[in-house]
Amino acid sequence: MVETKREIVEQFRRSSIQAAARQVIARRGLAGTSMQAVAAQAGVAKGTVYLYFKNREDLLESAASAAFEDLVNRLQAVLARSAPLPETLRALVRTKIEFFDAHQEFLRVHLDAGYPGGAVAARCRRRRSPHHARYIELLTAYLENTVERGEMRPLEPARVAWFLAEGVAGLLLRRLSEKRRSAEDDVDWIVELLLNGLGPSRRRS
């Protein structure tokens, strides 16, 4: 469906306000964020913000949803390359870590404000989100092809996709609250665990 010029402008303005909200919330926290502050960051009038979002909470949820939609689009691009499994896993994990690192403060505020039950409540709600469902579907399709190519044991792709998504997500949530290692160190650690499991290291001859 071809978008009109007005629709393109409207979407750009909405996206600009969402991006401004993430910046202000990350810098000030939710308590220090006002619609006026977001408007100033976006370079629009306060009334313009209210044309798109009914209140601050609506804006917070929309800004988070847009960020996660962008993440899934990036993950889809990785999966579309149909690269070998080890390379794809590294790219997926790296993309997720870079996303969480780039939005660290905003995501921390979003979790604290939107999910009184903490990380567990956040993950339960995330599993019901359309972004999560879309990622699981994309990952499942990639893994089905991986099995057909003989790169992975004939395990049930949908269950493997769920396991990969949930396991990596749990580590990323922990990364928000602990002293972080470098992104590459965590990529290496996660991919090594996924590919080689928990068994003892094999001795090299």
- Written as six digits, the tokens of 113 are 């404000």
- Helix 56-80 / helix 5-28 crossing angle, nearest 10 deg: 110
Residues 109 and 146 in one domain: yes
Residues 43 and 69 in one domain: no
Residues 179 and 86 in one domain: yes
Residues 192 and 96 in one domain: yes
Q: Report the distance separating Cα 17 and Cα 7, nearest Å.
A: 15
Asked whether residue 84 is domain-assigned, the answer is: yes
Residues 155 and 67 in one domain: yes
pLDDT digits (tens, 9 = 90+) for 131-187: 999 999 999 999 999 999 999 999 999 999 999 999 998 888 888 777 678 889 999
Asked whether residue 201 is domain-assigned, the answer is: no
Residues 48 and 75 in one domain: no
Mean pLDDT over 118-126 rounds to 50
Q: Which of 57, 37, 61, 45 is nearest to 13 (CA)?
A: 45
Q: pLDDT grade, residue 128 (50/70/90)? A: low
Task: Note the pLDDT of residue 30.
Answer: 86
Mean pLDDT over 33-51 rounds to 95
Asked whether residue 203 is domain-assigned, the answer is: no
Number of domains in the chain: 2
Q: Give me the residue label for tokens 């313009």.
A: 48
Q: Report the distance separating Cα 91 and Cα 2, nearest Å.
A: 32
Last residue of one domain, picked from the residues 35, 53, 71 = 53
Q: Report the distance separating Cα 96 and Cα 99, nearest Å.
A: 5
Residues 92 and 192 in one domain: yes
Residues 114 and 17 in one domain: no
CATH number, domain containing residue 165: 1.10.357.10
Task: Note the pLDDT of residue 114.
Answer: 57
Q: Report the distance separating Cα 76 and Cα 58, nearest Å.
A: 27
Residue-averaged pLDDT of the chain: 87
Q: Which of 47-51, 107-111, 122-126 has the highest mean pLDDT?
A: 47-51
Give yes or no for residue 126 having a pLDDT over 80.
Answer: no
Q: pLDDT grade, residue 37 (50/70/90)? A: very high
What is each CA distance from 93 to 108, 126, 148, 185, 200, in whole angstroms? Answer: 19, 18, 23, 11, 23
- Written as six digits, the tokens of 151 are 């790169």
The residue segments making up the domain with residue 136 are 55-196
Mean pLDDT over 106-122 rounds to 64
Torsion angle, alpha carbons of 136, 142, 145, 149, to 10: -130
Last residue of one domain, picked from the residues 12, 34, 53 = 53
Give yes or no for residue 116 having a pLDDT over 70.
Answer: no
Residues 100 and 162 in one domain: yes
Q: Give me the residue label for tokens 């505020």.
A: 109
Q: pLDDT grade, residue 85 (50/70/90)? A: very high
Task: Note the pLDDT of residue 127.
Answer: 56
Residues 34 and 15 in one domain: yes
Q: Rounded to two decimals, what is the model's pTM?
A: 0.84
Residues 189 and 143 in one domain: yes
CATH number, domain containing residue 42: 1.10.10
For residue 164, the Cα-to-chain-centroid distance in whole angstroms is: 14
